[in-house]
Structure 1
């Protein structure tokens, strides 16, 4: 996948829900990854904002400015991408908790069966149709959110 799409993906970590002491703990486990990316993006954006208040005129004048920009953007991209409610991504375990029981079960069954294929199809369609790129939309949203955070 790294060769064709420009990003790789890892095998999901197995989690045993019987080890949870509180109800819906799997929601917290699934939200931990995107939340950590959001926190890291916020820290990078905060440091960028502090550099402007420290007297630097542009990001590129600040010695670590470009590093902080990329750090923030990559983490925000990872956060938004992982929140997509598709297949092996964390969003497929987060968003169902906001649905009523019957649609949640149908969504989970569909996602368990076809989620990876939907994700691969999305990657292939994005490569075949340059105008249709959800990944570019995520990047644009990330830039907007980082600008707002700075």
Structure 2
């Protein structure tokens, strides 16, 4: 995907790259920040309480993200024994990432409306494209990460809510089989035309429509048909 953009429209490729780094950095930084606020400084000691993208980029995950649209950043470490409430503080740390993505999507949406809706810049201006891509990427990352499957952020909430012996079989299935099912879904989505993650893409575009006050599908098509 990135290579196609790079050869077709280098400027849009750069905007896409910066938007990805921005999105991942805010997500991981938020995990680290909430961890510190809840009493654990592990992430800070390991240099993760920073807005420097280099600290959060996993080389393999980032390359796969550029090539196939799916990847990952470095997981933010924390020690549950340092937390005030290990069970629920772990949930707060996990959900801080998706919540930060929602806030960033809203902020980018407001900026887009002010600048593009107010005719300060043209809709195909590189800043407008960056803001639009930031909206979509943040929404996709938020919705993907709240899937209740290990190692995604949503799994922490799932395990906290179903923390009872009678749910042990379900917890074991989600912990062991869930990642395998998720991996297969990601591979099928990346290498075929099947939209397995429609439950993410459809809400993401619907929220995006509301944020920019227009059709995100249409704007997306206009960006990527311009080269």
Bin of the TM-score, shorter chain as denominator length: 0.7 to 0.9
Q: What is residue 39 of structure 1 aligned with on the other side?
A: 103
Shift of 1:59: 5.7
Superimposed CA distance per residue, residues 41-78 of structure 1 (whole angstroms, 9 cap, x where no aligned partner): 11001111222552x29861656211110111111111
Gaps of 5+ in 1: none
Q: What is residue 27 of structure 1 aligned with on the other side?
A: 91
Q: What is residue 143 of structure 1 aligned with on the other side?
A: 205
Q: What is residue 39 of structure 2 aligned with on the other side?
A: none
Q: What is residue 85 of structure 1 aligned with on the other side?
A: 148
Gaps of 5+ in 2: 1-60, 213-227
TM-score of the two chains, using structure 2 as the length reference: 0.55
8 Å Cα contact 2:148-2:156 kept in structure 1: yes
TM-score of the two chains, using structure 1 as the length reference: 0.78
Shift of 1:27: 0.9
Q: 1:110 to 1:59 in 2, by over 3 A?
A: farther
Structure scoring higher RCO (CA < 8 A, sep ≥ 6) equals 1
Residues 41-80 of structure 1: matches in 2 within 5 Å?
Answer: 41-54=105-118, 56=119, 60=123, 64-80=127-143
Q: 1:11 to 1:63 in 2, by over 3 A?
A: closer
Name the SS of the counterpart of 1:50 in structure 2.
helix
The Cα RMSD (Å) is 2.9
